[in-house]
Amino acid sequence: MSRFLNTASAPPVEIFALAKAYREDAFASKVDLGIGAYRTNEGKPWVLPVVRKAELDIAGDESLNHEYLGQLGFDEFAQLATRLLLGADNVAIKEGRAFGIQALSGTGALRLAADFLLNCAGFKTVYVSDPSWPNHKLLLKHSGYADIRSYRYWDSKNRKLDFDGMIEDLKKAPEDSVIILHSCAHNPTGIDPTADQWEQIANVMEQRKLFPFFDSAYQGFASGDLEKDSSAVRYFISRGFELFCAQSFAKNFGLYNERIGNLTIVLRDAAPAVNVKAQITLLVRGNYSNPPAHGARIVTKVLSNNELYAEWSVEINENIKTMANRIKDMRTALRQKLEELGTPGTWSHITTQIGMFSYTGLNQRQVEYLVNQHHVYLPKDGRISLCGVNTNNVEYVAKAIHDAVTKYPDNQANL
Ligand code: LMR
């Protein structure tokens, strides 16, 4: 008899279960609005041309080998990633008190930091926004946090940021709580604080001695401007905060399965940097020993080469902007179609929200109906990835939403 007969069952990871159900659905007009991964207007995954170019170069480079990287990864990568987030001339970098550590994409960076903050730095309480990316709470639980709390973020009635609620909750947070903040393109709501609101958040966090831990999964995707999308992190540094920031290159390089990310650490002075790195070295060693190289090589090649960098960021193919602009066009198109159809409720939030997602306000019953009746796949919280909307299916999606909302009007969250 197996020792594991009593293993408890566990719920599927919703977003990946949804992707599988979509793949297995034979319906010709099915639409995938689930996972936050970029798709072309033809609904296909997109390898950025600049990434292909870098990969070809890497494949032909006989000086490269498959030796182990160090526990903290490829140093040049970590420095470049840190510069991308903070700006090359950031004073914290110049003073040697900001540095990066290669991590297994954004999730790996979040987990590494969460482990360090709990086990090596004595933090006990951690706050995430309500709602947040579901994996935040899961990874914090697995790190061992016994005190995971939420701060208000989404005002479901008015479909906007519940700023007063957020501030009130932060004011009540115990000193030395870790606060997870989305640096841009908040997932799932697509609503970010304004510059003025960030200032007020920073004021409260300073007064309450709260520790900012940013999650930067979408740099470039909120506005199409890499610098603007990291302005909250830069602002907190300019205010003198020490902070951590988990950076992902899954979205802005389209390197989802390469698991390439960076943990940027900004200290108030450089003195503890050696010990912080030493502790994180052991956390990595005891967990996955050392990170993989391929994604780090691609990102390093692009970020260290002026021409490739220009190609990636703006000048040549306007890759990131192309992605961001297509998403913006789809927001406009979807809203317009719903308004043309006279779908009950207001839909202006689709165009005011930013990033890949729209938090539609559709409720669980309507979502189930969309999936089962119309083969339009989205998670239960009503978040849609605009990347799955294209000129060929926007009308179908709008009509399906219209049908769901008119069929279940009582539960229409945004009426
Ligand atoms: C998402 O929110 O859809 C993405 O970040 C994918 C994921 O891992 O959840």
DSSP string, 336-399: HHHHHHT-SS--THHHHS-TTEEE----HHHHHHHHHHH-EE--TT-EEEGGG--TTTHHHHHH
Within 58-106, strands assigned E span 98-104
3-state helix, strand, coil in the chain (%, to 5): 45, 15, 40
Assign domain 68-304 to a CATH class.
Answer: alpha beta
> How far is 147 from 23, CA to CA, in rounded Å?
38
- CA of 36 relative to ligand 1 center, distance in Å: 5
Query: Is residue 352 over pLDDT 50?
Result: yes
Catalytic option among 162, 192, 215, 403: 215
Full DSSP string of 128-189: EEES--HHHHHHHHHHT-SEEEEEE-EETTTTEE-HHHHHHHHHHSPTT-EEEEESSS-TTT
- CA of 187 relative to ligand 1 center, distance in Å: 9
Q: Which atom of ligand 1 is nearest to the CA of 188?
A: 2
Over pLDDT 90: what percentage of the chain?
86
pLDDT, position 410: 59
pTM: 0.94
Q: Which atom of ligand 1 is nearest to the CA of 135?
A: 9
Q: Which range, of 7-16, 81-90, 128-137, 304-313, averages the lowest pLDDT?
A: 304-313
pLDDT, position 314: 65
pLDDT, position 339: 96
Start-end of CATH 3.90.1150.10 domains in the chain: 14-47+310-407
Query: Is residue 411 over pLDDT 80?
Result: no
Classify 330 as helix, strand or coil: helix
Closest residue CA from atom 1 of ligand 1: 36
When pLDDT is cut at 50, 70 and 90, the band that residue 412 belongs to is very low
36 lines ligand 1 (CB under 6 A): yes
When pLDDT is cut at 50, 70 and 90, the band that residue 315 belongs to is low
What values do phi and psi take at 151, rounded to 5?
Answer: -115, 145
| DSSP symbol at 332 | H
251 is catalytic: yes
Q: Does domain 14-47+310-407 sit in CATH 3.90.1150.10? A: yes
Mean pLDDT of 277-299: 98
- CA of 35 relative to ligand 1 center, distance in Å: 6
Catalytic option among 46, 133, 154, 312: 133
380 is catalytic: no
Q: Which atom of ligand 1 is nearest to the CA of 107?
A: 8
341 lines ligand 1 (CB under 6 A): no
15 lines ligand 1 (CB under 6 A): yes
141 is catalytic: no
220 vs 414, which has greater pLDDT?
220
Start-end of CATH 3.40.640.10 domains in the chain: 68-304
Placement of tokens 């008899």 in the chain: 1
- CA of 7 relative to ligand 1 center, distance in Å: 27
